[in-house]
Structure 1
Amino acid sequence: MPLPAPQPRRQINTRETRFRCFLRDDGLWDVEGELIDTKAELFTIRNERSWQPGEPIHHMLIRATVDSAKVVQEIAVSMEAYPHGICPQAMAHMQRMVGCTMAGGWRKAIDQHLGKAQGCTHIRELLFNMATAAFQGMERGRAEAAPDETPAYLGTCTAWDISGPVVAREFPLLYRPLAKP
């Protein structure tokens, strides 16, 4: 379903994010995130420099290695492009995320360890979504789930509403029809 036609406009900024998940030969998982910001026109930050149209202002990459419980074992970060000379200093704080779990409380852990001036806004944005990317990549399929185990995603969106038709079809034992008034 396409968006409605927009009003006349001109493009100013493009932000691209990409997430990938890999199963390693040692049984651990690598979850990678990448963020690239570009401008459509010449862009200058006073006392820093200028960027040509299409030249990345931000280009940041993260790899988090997690175990099957989504606990971060290792983390690596790279800033290929950044607007201020001081930006790379934020990378040192990333090691604080080792030992954190990409599950409930993930955003709180990011804010606690990398919030405000302790980190980089763009790195935090990548980290927020890496938990979802890990879940999507590590989900081995409903058929492999234990029959008595309730999948964590039930009840988290319209499609997986425990009173909805998808759950009724895919997980009839977990389906809970709405009570009639």
Structure 2
Amino acid sequence: MSLPKPETSRKLLHTRSIRVQAYERSDGLMDLEAELIDYKGYDFHRIDGMVNKAGDHVHDMTLRVTIDAEYTIVDAQASYAAAPYDASCMAITPAYRDMVGMNLLKNFRRQVKERFGRTAGCTHMTELSQVLPTAAVQANAGARRNRAGQSNADKRPFQLDGCHALSTDGPIVLKYYPRWYAGRQEGEQGEAAAAASPDMSS
């Protein structure tokens, strides 16, 4: 469902796009490449006096991490195609190799903020890294199910109770994961309603 059309006229100020692509490697590892692009909807003068035209990239950066089957980062590379302070911004790229050894599912966002906070990193590159954990899980979900087959049939799916739609007392879990459904069944709902009603027979 798309958003309703705005009722007030407006003009574009800023566009930010974030894209993550995941690649299965022949060595069994996975590459995640995250890209962030910013541009304005109008011309403006940069601090160096140059004019940045509408649509010209203000930020254009990519962060690639290679992870193993346990989501531990074994390689990390950062690069810029555009940055507001050019070489001064781009000089921070080697620092992001320090992500090696971090695990995307174990306090990753906190560790990144601690390691690359303020002058120790690039605000936008650090912000870009924050999308990696959920992107990795999403990318690996189908492959993990295929590899597991029925071997993990007795293991509760990790995604349950992870979001509104997958609440264990909701209709999606009842329909697709009935074994793990924790809500009331129709008969139970009827019994609960009867128990809550006053006894009119006395």
TM-score by length of 2: 0.83
Distance 2:175 2:122 in 1: 43
Q: Deviations over 1:52-93 (max 9, x none)?
A: 111111000011000011100000111110001311122122
Note closer, same or farther for the CA distance 1:69–1:25 as it changes in structure 2 (3 Å cut).
same
Q: In the alignment, residue 163 of structure 1 is paired with which amino acid?
A: D
8 Å Cα contact 2:77/2:94 also seen in 1: no
Share of identical aligned residues, percent?
Answer: 31
Match in the other structure for 2:62: 61
8 Å Cα contact 1:48/1:84 also seen in 2: no
Does the residue aligned with 2:79 lie in a helix, a strand or coil?
strand
Q: Where do 1:1-181 residues align within 5 Å? A: 1-6=1-6, 7-47=8-48, 49-85=50-86, 86-139=88-141, 140=143, 142=145, 144=148, 146-177=152-183
Tell me which structure has the larger Cα radius of gyration.
Answer: 2
Deviation, 1:141, is: 5.7
Deviation, 1:98, is: 0.5
Does the residue aligned with 2:126 lie in a helix, a strand or coil?
helix
Match in the other structure for 2:199: none
- The alignment covers a number of residue pairs equal to 181
RMSD: 1.9
Note closer, same or farther for the CA distance 1:104–1:123 as it changes in structure 2 (3 Å cut).
same
TM-score by length of 1: 0.92
Q: Deviations over 1:31-54 (max 9, x none)?
A: 110011111211222236331111
Q: In the alignment, residue 69 of structure 2 is paired with which amino acid?
A: S
Distance 1:165 1:34 in 2: 36
Does the residue aligned with 1:19 lie in a helix, a strand or coil?
strand
Distance 2:182 2:42 in 1: 53
Does the residue aligned with 2:180 lie in a helix, a strand or coil?
coil
Deviation, 1:168, is: 1.6
Structure 2, unmatched stretches of 5+, are: 197-202
Match in the other structure for 2:200: none
Deviation, 1:4, is: 2.1
Distance 2:156 2:101 in 1: 25
Distance 1:47 1:71 in 2: 41
